[in-house]
Structure formats: structure tokens, C-alpha cells
Structure 1
Amino acid sequence: MRRPVPLLALSLLAASGGPALAGQTACWFENGAVVVPAAIGEVAGDYVLDLSAPHTLLHETAAQRAGFAETSLSLPVRLAGQRTAAAPVAVQDLDYRGVGFVTPIAGVIGADILDRYVVTLDFAPCRLTLEPLKRRGEPPPGALAVAMVGGVPTVLAAASNGLRGVSGPFALDTASRGGVRARGAADAPRQKPAGTLRGLSLDGVLRQDVPAVVAGALPDGVVGAIGVEVLAAYRLRLDPEALRLWLTPQEKGPGVSAGP
């Protein structure tokens, strides 16, 4: 016979919040970016999810509407059932990030929020899962090593246009159309195509004829960013504590061949 839980124990669990649980939310693709419902302070709306952005941003229009005049704020962030208390938030004019979106973009959820959780991003259907960080033993095999460079998670990759190649740490850009993003004007839209790369090598897989975007800043030391057109072929699981990224192929897309 199952014994009833005493009311005192229930009240203690409620006070402590009980064990930390994973939170989830549906997301969607719009204009080549992953968009999620979230709230910064009391500003709820549609936010771009950007693992390649070191800082979380609030659109100045949304901030002014909420009564904020400062450009540097400290506000709670609510995302996928999780709440981050008193996170630093920069207020900026994000009109250039909102080009091509049907609904206004309230801001950008950056790596400084996402690196507090184990992040799982499914692309088909789009779903974001955030799990609290916890120390584990040896991470499961099959993962890519992750290095934090300039505040964003990066993995080793190589890209070439047929004449010149670059290799090194690439950020994970969940907010740009195309397969690879190169550093460009800080206020340039990330949805404008800028040609095709001959190839991209990532995790032993060579992708050919990869659409490229040249726009937006990248932290010093980051040579490029892998965009949604490539990432959407995988289920992403990023553990910032273990510094590991698991890429589980969803299906084999066009232009993909096994690498050496």
C-alpha cells in the first residue's frame, strides 16, 4: 500500500522547488532563423535563438515600450520553462536583425543564457529542451569537442571556396540563413545569400556547394559560423559543462558525402 506523502514534506518540496527538471518549448523557423517564445523581464514575445551571439539582446523599441531608458539592464529571462534570474541584457536597435520577419523580433537569446543549460535542439519538428547543468562522469562517446571562444561555443571545421580555405573554431549559428556565415558588416542582414562555398568539412562529413552568408560580427578567434541549413540536418545536444556537442543525423540531405 502506498503511504500518503505528509503535508509538511509537500510544503518543503514546494519551497525548494523540488529536483531541477528539464523544460521544453516549441520553436519554429522563420527567415532562416530559429525563433522561440520567451520573456526578458516583462517583455514577452518572439526571440531569435542565437548560439553564435555572446550576449543576450533586447530590441530598444520593446525596451522603451516597457519603460526602460537604460542600454544595460539586469533582468530575469524565461525560456522553455526555465528562469534565469538577474541576467545582463544589452538594449540595442535590432531593426537589422528583424529584416524579413513577419512578426516583430523582441530580442536575441544569446550564448550567455544558453550556456547555463544542457541544450537540445530538434529541427523536425522544431523543439528546444533546456536541462540544468550537473556534473556527470565521462561523457558518452560520439561527441565533438567544444571550445568556448569569445563567449560562444565552437567546434573545429574547415571551409573552402575552391581557391582559399580556412579552418579552426566555427560558432554554431542558429540565426542565419545558409550553411556558413563569414564575418561581415555588424548591421548586415543574415538572410541575404552571398554565393556558394565549394565545401564544408564538419565531424568527418564533407558537404559540397554550401550556401554562404557574409554578415554580422563574430568574436575574436572565431573563423566562421555554421548556419541553420547545415545544422538542421542534425539533432543538436550541447553540454557546456562537459564541453561536448552531439550531432545526431536526421536524414541524409543533398550534397552530403562521407569524409575521410
Structure 2
Amino acid sequence: MVRSEEHVDRKSSFLVASVILGVAFVIGMSIFGYFFYISKLPQKTLSVTGSARELVVSDVAKWGSSYSVKVPESKLNYGFRLMKEHEKKVLDIFEKNGINKDEITLSAISVSEMYVEPTQVVERQYVLTQFINVQTNDVDGIAQKVKNITQEILDLGVAFQANPVEYYYSKLAEKRVQLLSSAVRDARRRAEEIAKSGGLHVGKVISAKSGVVQVLAPNSVEVSDYGTYDTSTKEKEIMVTVNVVFEAK
């Protein structure tokens, strides 16, 4: 009798445990299913583009120029000697006008044959050219120096060609980081304005993607999908954009 009662008790305990485990399993699966369902619901988001601009002054100027001579093939050696004479005169004028030697880079002398009609029976003609590149921090004075240098070299009878001065801003990478922070804040402000009209609140940032940097002349709107870098003016306006996706509650 005692064994029978013990057997019944064990069966009852096993049954109760099974029921409890079953209920716990059902509850657990229900909770899991709820959260899985919630995770699959479409998340409300706001995608907004923010921008930031700042006016800066160039701190580097670059200027390219060249001088050349034209000689027949029989006088190439003379042409090279003449180029060396021109080099000394040209560099003296550069130095006289305040261009330091460490700001100048000279190329090797290039030689190119001039085109003549195949029917013409003439001696081959060649043009010898040397390029001069200047990089300086004197962004305020370089334009006047270029004007003076060009005139003085032309007065010597040297075939001299001067390119426009190009102006650059050397701290662009650092400025871009600063402006990106401002652009994100601008994006949040815009998102909040949009959210108000829909009765929503702007939450955390889900993703952010920066656009290309635009270096523009002041008040210019000539932006490009690939980025723009205006070199014609000393003052420049740096603009960055960022597309930010916010959580909307």
C-alpha cells in the first residue's frame, strides 16, 4: 500500500513539473514571439540633409610660369646655352622681386619638335622650355610680384608665359571635421522642425553619411557632385553636407 501511494505521489509530482515546464515554455515563446514581432515592425525614421559653411582666407599661393626658345636642329646646343643664360636672368628677377630660392622649383628643360607640313623641305625646328613653379605663403603680395616679374622678363626679350596665381587653404582637413559637427547639428534642427508637423519627436542618430567638400568662391553656388575647389580667390567659402537618418518617436 505504501509503495502504491509513493508511486502515485511520484506520478503527481512529475505531472505538476511537466505542467509547469509546459506553461513556462509557452510563456517564453510568447515573449520571444512578441519581441520578434516588434523587431519586424517598420521603424519610423527621418532622413535629413544638414549643411555648414565657413569663410576662410587662403594661406598658400601657387604660381606656374615658363620661358622658352625656338631653334633649328643644327643649333640645339646653342639653344641649351641660351636657356641657361635665360635661367640666370629669370631667377635674378624672381629674387629681386622677393621670391625666395626655397619657394622655387625648376623643371628639367623639355624639348619638343615643331610641326611642319610634310611637303615643306625645311630644317627641323625645336622649342626648348623650362617650367618654374612657385609656392609661397605670401598670399597678399604674390599677385603684385607676378605682375612685376612678368613685365621685367618680357622687357628682356625672353619668351615668358605666366599662369594665373592659384590660392589654397592648407587646413582643409581639420576644417572639414569641425564643419561636419556643425552640419549634423543643422540636420537635427531641420529634423525637429519636420517632426513637429507630424507630431513626432527626434530620437537618436541611426546613420550619417557625409558629402563631398565644396571649396567655393565667396557667395558662389557652383557646387559639384564630385566636389569643387576654387583657386581663383584668396577668400574661400568651405561648405560640407551630411545626410543623417534619425529615429522618429
Query: For the superposition of Structure 1 and Structure 2, which TM-score range results when normalised by the shorter chain?
Result: under 0.3
Higher-strand-fraction structure: 1
Compare CA radii of gyration and give the structure with the larger one: 2
